[in-house]
Chains A and B, each alone.
Chain A
Amino acid sequence: MSVANLSYRAVFALVLKRDLTIAMRHKDDIINPLLFFVIVVTLFPLGIGPEAQTLSRIAPGIIWVAALLSTLLSLDRLFKSDHVDGSLEQMLLSPQPVFILVLAKIVAHWLITGLPLILIAPLLAVLLHLNEQSYGALILTLLLGTPVLSLLGAIGVALTVGIKKGGVLLSLLVLPLYIPVLIFATSAIDTAALGLPYSGQLAIIAALFFGSLTLAPFAVGAALKVSTN
């Protein structure tokens, strides 16, 4: 079967499977951002002091900021290696819509970096004495919020992939865009700690998620075309 006749679903599955296979063969790419996440979170009690009350007050912020930073750290490999070995250019030249290809790569990125983050977050929440009522909110906000981080981050990587020293630039481009997610996620967790409903904040994060899911791949596609030129 020629590539041109593949259905969108098949293309999506193909790219997703390829990226996951590559990630599985470079396991340190999965583990290092996760280790970074754990270490950054550990630094805060050391810097601030071990009082349980203070820690539980700032735990949502610490976990979310650490999540932002470790996502940022892992973004680089979203397109970098593909750009270096030329496969990115081939993908863009293929008859398939860039939207699908980009979306598959972003989903793969989230599965590799976002999902492990969510799995390990409750453990770190225990270390930071997070309020017991907040665990549900923490998981839900991470579940809805980390895909947004991957989607928005992909725009930044796509813009900087052709630049030699793109790393610092990437953080300058992407971090301001992460602010709304950070605000609503931590506010949801704080509200949950008070025993109040936090569905409003979740709804907004969900809106951010669907908004970026539909718009970001277009921006990424346009940016990749500029970068590979």
Chain B
Amino acid sequence: MWKWLHPYANPEVSYHFAGKILPWLSALAALFLSIGLIWALAFAPADYQQGDSFRIFYIHVPAASLSMGIYLGMAIAAFTSLVWQFKLADASAAAMAPVGATFTAIALITGAAWGKPMWGTWWIWDARLTSELILLFLYLGVIALHNAFEDKNLAGKAAGILTLVGVINLPIIKYSVEWWNTLHQGSTVSKLGKPSMSVDMLWPFVFCFLGFIFLVSVFICIRFRSEILARNSIRPWVRTLVSEHIAQEKTNAV
């Protein structure tokens, strides 16, 4: 049943597979994002309460959901790597961490930019904002631990353990922060609650969301490929790949 999966345990096959799907993913990302963003930012109707500033949600919400989704993906990759000693899973977890951290930062920054006109302040110790900030710290911890080891295989294992510890703690942190917030200052800012979106606002959102998912896949694919190359730099197939590339550069230069 799993036979189709076996070839991809070979780094070379995975490298070329990622290279093959990369242009498709890039095209899809460009298509969906250009349709979604133009529709959302220029044509979707303005919110009757928030005016045009609500449009930042078309970037903020996908970034925030993806920041959590990528962490989950990282945890699954780390688990796969630790349990089945599947080395490529390490490479994919390492590829995901900086992308996830960037999207967490985007979610925080766009949230702050939205908060300024809406709440009149850049930052509020709201439960969601706080747990997103802590998520950023967890990402940075994983990245820092990854960079601290010189041996990439050890780095992957250590970062994997930390990711799994983090994924167990994430719901605990999330709920404790929510409880802390309600205890300390009451529901002053939870008016965020899901407004049921009208259809002409929802469709551009769907396009944006899919576009961002494809964009993230593109970034992860690129980083995954370079992780594979870095980890296998002494293998003959990487060497021939590099020498072919250099030869091509030379003919291009001539």
Q: Which residues of A contact B (CB under 8 A)?
A: 155, 159-160, 162-163, 165-166, 169, 172-173, 175-177, 179-180, 183-184, 187, 190, 204, 208, 215, 219, 222-223, 226-227, 229
Please tell me if the beta carbons of A183 and B177 are within 8 angstroms of each other in the complex. yes
Question: Given A160-B148, A169-B145, A223-B158, 9 more contacts at CB 8 Å?
Answer: A155-B161, A163-B148, A163-B149, A173-B144, A176-B137, A176-B138, A179-B134, A183-B180, A219-B165
Interface size range of chain B in the complex? 20 to 34
Please tell me if the beta carbons of B154 and A229 are within 8 angstroms of each other in the complex. yes
Q: Does B168 contact A (CB under 8 A)?
A: yes
Please tell me if the beta carbons of B158 and A176 are within 8 angstroms of each other in the complex. no
**Which residues of chain B come closer than 8 Å to A163, judged between CB atoms?**
148-149
Q: Does B240 contact A (CB under 8 A)?
A: no
Please tell me if the beta carbons of A179 and B161 are within 8 angstroms of each other in the complex. no
**Which residues of chain A come closer than 8 Å to B34, judged between CB atoms?**
none
Q: Does B113 contact A (CB under 8 A)?
A: no
Instruction: List 8 contacting pairs A-B, 8 Å CB cutoff, sorted by A.
Output: A160-B145, A165-B148, A169-B141, A180-B169, A180-B172, A183-B176, A183-B177, A183-B180
In whole Å, how far is A111's beta carbon from the nearest beta carbon of chain B? 24
**Which residues of chain B come closer than 8 Å to A160, judged between CB atoms?**
145, 148
User: When A163-B149, A226-B157, A226-B158 are in contact, do A176 and B164 touch as well, CB less than 8 Å?
Assistant: no
Residue of B nearest to A174 (CB): B141
Give per-residue flags for B162-192: 1 if the beta carbon is below 8 A from chain A beta carbons, else 0.
Answer: 1011101100110011011001000000000
In whole Å, how far is B68's beta carbon from the nearest beta carbon of chain A? 15
Q: Does B140 contact A (CB under 8 A)?
A: yes
Interface centre among B82, B137, B148 (most CB of A within 10 A): B148
Please tell me if the beta carbons of B172 and A173 are within 8 angstroms of each other in the complex. no
Q: Which residues of B contact A (CB under 8 A)?
A: 82, 134, 137-138, 140-141, 144-145, 148-149, 151, 154, 157-158, 161-162, 164-166, 168-169, 172-173, 176-177, 179-180, 183
Please tell me if the beta carbons of B134 and A173 are within 8 angstroms of each other in the complex. no
**Which residues of chain A come closer than 8 Å to B144, judged between CB atoms?**
169, 172-173
**Which residues of chain A come closer than 8 Å to B162, judged between CB atoms?**
155, 159, 173
Interface centre among A163, A169, A208, A226 (most CB of B within 10 A): A226
Residue of B nearest to A184 (CB): B176
Please classify the interface of chain B as helix (H, G, I), strand (E, B), loop, or mixed, using the class held by over half of its residues: helix
User: When A183-B179, A219-B161 are in contact, do A173 and B169 touch as well, CB less than 8 Å?
Assistant: no
| Whole-angstrom CA separation of A165 from B148 in the bound complex | 8
Please tell me if the beta carbons of A176 and B165 are within 8 angstroms of each other in the complex. no
| Whole-angstrom CA separation of A169 from B155 in the bound complex | 14
Interface centre among B137, B165, B168, B180 (most CB of A within 10 A): B165
In-complex Cβ contact of B137 among A159, A172, A204, A223 (8 A): A172
Q: Which 9 A-B pairs have the closest CB atoms?
A: A180-B176, A183-B180, A176-B137, A226-B157, A173-B141, A183-B176, A163-B148, A172-B141, A159-B158
| Whole-angstrom CA separation of A36 from B111 in the bound complex | 38
Residue of B nearest to A226 (CB): B157
**Which residues of chain B come closer than 8 Å to A219, judged between CB atoms?**
161, 164-165
**Which residues of chain A come closer than 8 Å to B154, judged between CB atoms?**
162, 226-227, 229
In-complex Cβ contact of B158 among A184, A187, A215, A227 (8 A): A227
Residue of A nearest to B138 (CB): A176
Please tell me if the beta carbons of A208 and B158 are within 8 angstroms of each other in the complex. no
Residue of B nearest to A156 (CB): B162
**Which residues of chain B come closer than 8 Å to A190, judged between CB atoms?**
183
In-complex Cβ contact of A179 among B82, B157, B177, B183 (8 A): B177
| Whole-angstrom CA separation of A229 from B161 in the bound complex | 15
In whole Å, how far is A40's beta carbon from the nearest beta carbon of chain B? 21
Please tell me if the beta carbons of B161 and A159 are within 8 angstroms of each other in the complex. yes
User: When A155-B165, A159-B161 are in contact, do A187 and B137 touch as well, CB less than 8 Å?
Assistant: no
| Whole-angstrom CA separation of A187 from B166 in the bound complex | 23
**Which residues of chain B come closer than 8 Å to A179, judged between CB atoms?**
134, 173, 176-177
| Whole-angstrom CA separation of A48 from B82 in the bound complex | 48
**Which residues of chain A come closer than 8 Å to B134, judged between CB atoms?**
176, 179
**Which residues of chain A come closer than 8 Å to B145, judged between CB atoms?**
159-160, 169, 173
Residue of B nearest to A181 (CB): B176
| Whole-angstrom CA separation of A179 from B173 in the bound complex | 7
| Whole-angstrom CA separation of A177 from B140 in the bound complex | 13
Please tell me if the beta carbons of A180 and B173 are within 8 angstroms of each other in the complex. yes
